[in-house]
């Protein structure tokens, strides 16, 4: 029996224009109507994820920033994994020296060294103020069209700090505490609700979904997902994120496993 459904957002639950299809919204409503918990598991912060779901009438729990936070349906913070401040500052200095703009997600909100980050406040006085104020750092995010530079920096940052360094796409990098991974946090959430791993169904499409796919036996890689994810997932959806792959799969599963 299914007791929890957990889905990534970008490339999975969301279409490429960041919208939620009618079929996907119906799947959430149907699942919750049967008492199944719906969990959004994303690299985004609460500020970047909740409004997207709320505009489609979806109220759910959130594993955020690749596993740095878990918030319940009311938005209350239940679990958090903070980065070591010295290591986080080292990452910021490195990105700054490379000329890469970045976003810092903290316990006080989301901030960025550029105005181009839609869901973050611009740091007019520089990123150092975040550390001077002793905010707790949950994630550092950056983008670059130079994918080779991103690949190099991921390796260097991991070797120099031991932090978790992942990507949703080839042009981005997401740095968190070592235990702030989707699979680790979602496992903790399942235990919090007394739900067994085999009672959870997970969906993902990217590299930062690997820990989630590996942690839960009933795993689905999106048809549009990365090759590595498809190789490691138990199943591959018949449809892409543009074709409501999550919703169509969930409705079939609920009819079969939760009659």
Per DSSP, the residues of 172-222 read EEEEE-TT--HHHHHHHHHHHTT--GGGEEEEE-SGGGHHHHHH-SEEEE-
pLDDT of res. 170: 87
Pairing of strands 218-221, 200-204: parallel
**pLDDT score at 47:** 94
Q: What is the pLDDT of residue 169?
A: 83
Q: What is the CATH number of domain 4-80+181-257?
A: 3.40.50.1000
Please name the CATH architecture into which domain 85-176 falls: 2-Layer Sandwich (3.30)
Q: What is the pLDDT of residue 257?
A: 79
Position 181 scores a pLDDT of 95
Q: Supply the pLDDT for residue 110.
A: 96
Tokens linked to 202: 């997970």
Q: What is the pLDDT of residue 118?
A: 85
- Domain ranges in the chain are 4-80+181-257, 85-176
Q: Measured between alpha carbons, how far is 99 from 222 in angstroms, rounded to an integer? A: 34
Provide the Cα torsion 12, 215, 168, 206; round to 10°: -50
Return the DSSP state at 163: -
Residue carrying the six token digits 């181009």: 116
For the chain, the distance separating the N- and C-terminal CA atoms, rounded to the nearest angstrom, is 9
* Rounded mean pLDDT for each run of 10 residues along the chain, 259 residues in total: 97 97 98 97 95 96 97 98 98 96 96 93 95 97 95 97 91 95 97 98 95 96 96 98 98 88
Q: What angle do CA 234, 218, 215 make, to 5 degrees?
A: 90
């Amino acid at each position: 029996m299914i007791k929890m459904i957990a889905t990534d957002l970008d490339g999975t639950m969301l279409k490429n224009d960041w919208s939620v299809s009618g079929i996907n919204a119906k799947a959430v409503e149907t699942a919750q109507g049967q008492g199944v918990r719906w969990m959004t598991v994303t690299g985004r912060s609460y500020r970047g994820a909740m409004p997207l779901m709320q505009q489609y009438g979806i109220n759910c729990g959130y594993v955020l920033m690749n596993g740095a936070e878990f918030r319940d349906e009311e938005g209350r913070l239940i679990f958090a994994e903070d980065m070591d401040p010295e290591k986080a500052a080292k990452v910021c200095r490195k990105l700054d020296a490379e000329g890469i703009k970045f976003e810092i997600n903290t316990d006080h909100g989301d901030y960025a060294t550029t105005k181009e980050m839609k869901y973050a406040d611009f740091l007019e006085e520089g990123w150092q103020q975040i550390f001077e104020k002793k905010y707790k750092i949950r994630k550092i995010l950056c983008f670059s069209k130079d994918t080779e530079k991103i690949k190099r920096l991921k390796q260097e940052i991991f070797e120099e700090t031991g932090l978790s360094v992942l990507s949703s796409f080839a042009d981005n990098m997401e740095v968190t505490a070592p235990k702030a991974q989707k699979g680790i946090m979602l496992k903790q959430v399942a235990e919090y609700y007394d739900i067994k791993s085999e009672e959870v169904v997970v969906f993902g499409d990217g590299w930062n979904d690997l820990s989630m796919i590996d942690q839960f036996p009933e795993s689905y890689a999106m048809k549009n997902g990365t090759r590595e994810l498809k190789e490691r997932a138990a199943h591959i959806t018949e449809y892409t994120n543009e074709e409501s792959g999550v919703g169509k799969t969930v409705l079939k599963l609920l009819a079969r496993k939760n009659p």
